[in-house]
Every structure is written in C-alpha cells, then in structure tokens.
Structure 1
Amino acid sequence: MVNIFVITYSTYGHINKVAESVVTGLKKAGAVVSRYQIAETLSDEILAKMHAPPKPDLPVIQAKDLVEADAFLFGFPTRYGTTPAQVKAFFDSTGQLWTKQALAGKPAGFFFSTASQHGGQEVTVFSTLPILAHHGMIYVPFGYANAHLFDNSEVIGGSAWGAGTIANGDGSRQPSQKELEIAENQGENFAKVAAKLAA
C-alpha cells in the first residue's frame, strides 16, 4: 500500500478541516496515511493577539521525515498569492534532501484556503511548483474531477489545482459540504495516482 503524508499549516483551523476530508478520500482508496503539521514560527503572544485557536495534536514534520513517504499532499492558506512564511521555512529546510535528490520521483499535490474567491488559490500552488521542480517531484493536479467545481450557484473553493475553501477575511466562513466533498475526491484520486507511480 502507498504511504502518503498529509502535511498542513493552519492558523485558524480551516485547512485542518479540509485535511480531514482529504484523509478520508486517501483511506477510501486504500492508502496508508500519516498526518503532520508544519512548525509555527509566530510566538504564543502574537498568536493570542491574533485570536488563533490552539494547534491540533499532530506531530511536527521535520525535513528528514519526508524520505519515509511515497507521496505528499500539502495544505496551507495563501499569503499574498504564495505560501505562508512557516511553509516556506519548512521547504527551505529541505536543502540536504535536495542535494541528494532524495524526493525525486515522488508525487505531490496541494489544497489551500483564501479569504476571498479571488484571493490567490491557484497562484498559491503555481508559486510553489518551483520547489517541486528543484526536488524532482511530480506535481499531481486535481483537474476538474468533481462536478462541484462547475457549480456557480454559490461560493465554492477549489479548482483544477486542488481542493480549497474560502474563509472570509475574518475567518468566519467554515468549509462547506461541497468543498469537503471536493477534498475527499481529491484525496481518493491522488491516492490512485500515487499507487500507480509507486508500482
């Protein structure tokens, strides 16, 4: 069975909620799933002022841990159309793996959240692809594999680049049922692709 790491950074919990559905889909397709979170770089004092909830009880991923997985799904919010500083710091710590090309050939995908419909969901992934390219990893997009992505009757996060949610500027909007269904679908599809590549 393919071993997939779901690695997230979430300030207010929206991404972790989406990750739960991603994991459901991965397991539905028979994958072995391990959940990790990326280390926080903000102090407890700053997080308190931001009214951020406590972090989930998940192990913090270290760069050296990545070699144990066959594939990865990364989830994080956007920061001005790119990754949060915490995620960039994590990727910056993978230099030793890069020198050995230890992650080459491993598939990876993304899911994300933004405050608004046009807050950079697609460009957040696009701006992260050079990291995969330098590691020799294989980007697996979601495509339009779920009919909800064609639904314009309501606000729905996600795109061909991956599942997503829209949180509102104040974080008041939680992932909708349709967004969670898209996330589960992405997990299931990704696991099938990862299994083929691992074989």
Structure 2
Amino acid sequence: MEPVNVAVIYYSATGTVHALARAAAEGAEKAGANVRLRKVAETAPDTAIAANPAWGEHLRDTADVAEVGHDDLAWADAVLFGTPTRFGTPSAQIKAFIDATGPLWMQGQLAGKVYSALTASNTLHGGQESTILALSNVFYHWGGIIVPPGYADPIQYQSGNPYGASHVTSTGPVSDVALEAARFQARRVVDTATALKIGRAA
C-alpha cells in the first residue's frame, strides 16, 4: 500500500508557526508519509509588514516555501493547519484560503480526510484553544475526521495542550518541547490516516 499523503498548511508572520509546521512535517515524514509543506499567501499590506522587521525578514527567509493550492488539499489524505491566533480565531490569511475551498467542498473532495491544527499566541491565555476549536468548526463542515494530540504521549504532559501543538511567543523562540509535541501530533495524524486507508482498502 502506498504511504498516506499529508499536507501541512500554515500561515506565519514572524516564524513561530512556521517552526511548528516544519516540525510537524518532519514528524509526518518520519512516520512514513508523503509530505507537502505549504504556506498560504500573504495578504497583509506592505505598510504593516514594513512596521515589523521580523515580519519582512521571515517573508524573505521562506520565499522558497511553495504557496498552497487547492490541488494540495485534494491530494492529501490528512491535513495539519497551522495558524497564529488573531483575537482567539485563525488568521485572516488562513481564513481567506479556507473561504476559497467551496468548489472542493461541493465536490465532496474534503470529506473523510484526517484534520488537525496547531497554533501560537503572544500570551499564555491568548486564544490558543479557541483558535483550534474555530478551525475544528471548518473540519466539521468539511466532513473531516479530527485527530487532536490529546494526552496520548508523555510529551503532551510537558506541552500542556491536548488540542494541538502550540507556543507562547512572548517566552522566546519555539521550545524543544513544543517542536516535539508538533512532531508527535503529526505522527498521530499519520497513524490514524494510515489505519483509515488500510480499513477502506479492505
């Protein structure tokens, strides 16, 4: 049987969610999946980006990361979405991509896939859980199978977020614990998607 296809789709302004997404891609690859790491298009005005040097620097540093297209969603057996919190909800950039997936949804091409989400916020109670739950609302509409990390691995008792891998940016660079939590989450997604693929083939 062919390995499962996993798309890791993310938006990151200054690099935090990119680091989590990259770790998730590593975890999925190590679990044997075919992986596509994809960023969503930047829609913020140049004036906003110019006001934050780290934002522009991250854009330059990730210029080689391909932008996501509808074909990536159609290709995937499982999808991990990564987004910073924006007032307790996903970023406008991620939302813009999701809002454009109507044609795939109407054709039933988003149903039956495994979905999971990860996030970051500037403060400890900055909306991480509500952001992941908001993405889960999308997955419900798509007919997706939601796979959270839960407390299914010892690393989760260190990371503390059963909803999805996350990081508080005001504490500094993304921690090794958060990165390992993202890898574990992706492995769990791959294991679930693989079991579904085997079951459906039978």
Partner residue of 2:17? 15
Q: Which is helix-richer, 1 or 2?
A: 2
Partner residue of 2:58? 54
Partner residue of 2:156? 149
- Tell me how far apart the structure 1 counterparts of residues 23 and 188 of structure 2 sit (CA, whole Å): 13
- Tell me how far apart the structure 2 counterparts of residues 15 and 89 of structure 1 sit (CA, whole Å): 17
Given residue 196 of structure 1, which amino acid in structure 2 is its aligned partner?
A
Partner residue of 2:167? 165
Given residue 194 of structure 2, which amino acid in structure 1 is its aligned partner?
A
Residue of structure 2 aligned with 1:112, choices 114, 119, 127: 119
Kindly indicate whether residue 185 of structure 2 is the aligned counterpart of residue 181 of structure 1: no
Q: CA deviation at 1:108?
A: 0.7
Partner residue of 2:73? 66
Given residue 58 of structure 2, which amino acid in structure 1 is its aligned partner?
P
Write out per-residue CA displacement over residues 9-59 of structure 1, whole angstroms, 9 at most, x where no aligned residue.
000100111122212211121111111001110123321112212321211
TM-score scaled by length of structure 2: 0.89
Write out per-residue CA displacement over residues 122-166 of structure 1, whole angstroms, 9 at most, x where no aligned residue.
111111222111111111111112324334xxxx5x511111111
Contact 2:117 2:135 in 1 (8 A): no
Residue of structure 1 aligned with 2:89, choices 79, 82, 95: 82
3-state SS of the aligned residue for 1:128?
helix
- Tell me how far apart the structure 1 counterparts of residues 193 and 36 of structure 2 sit (CA, whole Å): 15
3-state SS of the aligned residue for 2:89?
coil
Residue of structure 2 aligned with 1:92, choices 87, 99, 107: 99
Q: CA deviation at 1:185?
A: 1.2
Write out per-residue CA displacement over residues 147-194 of structure 1, whole angstroms, 9 at most, x where no aligned residue.
24334xxxx5x51111111101xxx71111111111111121211111
3-state SS of the aligned residue for 1:108?
strand
Partner residue of 1:134? 141
Q: Point out where structure 2 has 5 or more consecutive residues left out of the alignment.
A: none
Q: 1:65 to 1:178 in 2, by over 3 A?
A: closer
Q: How many residues align?
A: 191
**Greater shift after overlay, 138-147 or 4-13?**
138-147
Residue identity over aligned pairs, in percent, reads 37
Given residue 86 of structure 1, which amino acid in structure 2 is its aligned partner?
Q
- Tell me how far apart the structure 1 counterparts of residues 76 and 16 of structure 2 sit (CA, whole Å): 24
Given residue 160 of structure 1, which amino acid in structure 2 is its aligned partner?
P
Partner residue of 2:191? 192
Q: CA deviation at 1:113?
A: 0.4
- Tell me how far apart the structure 2 counterparts of residues 121 and 72 of structure 1 sit (CA, whole Å): 19
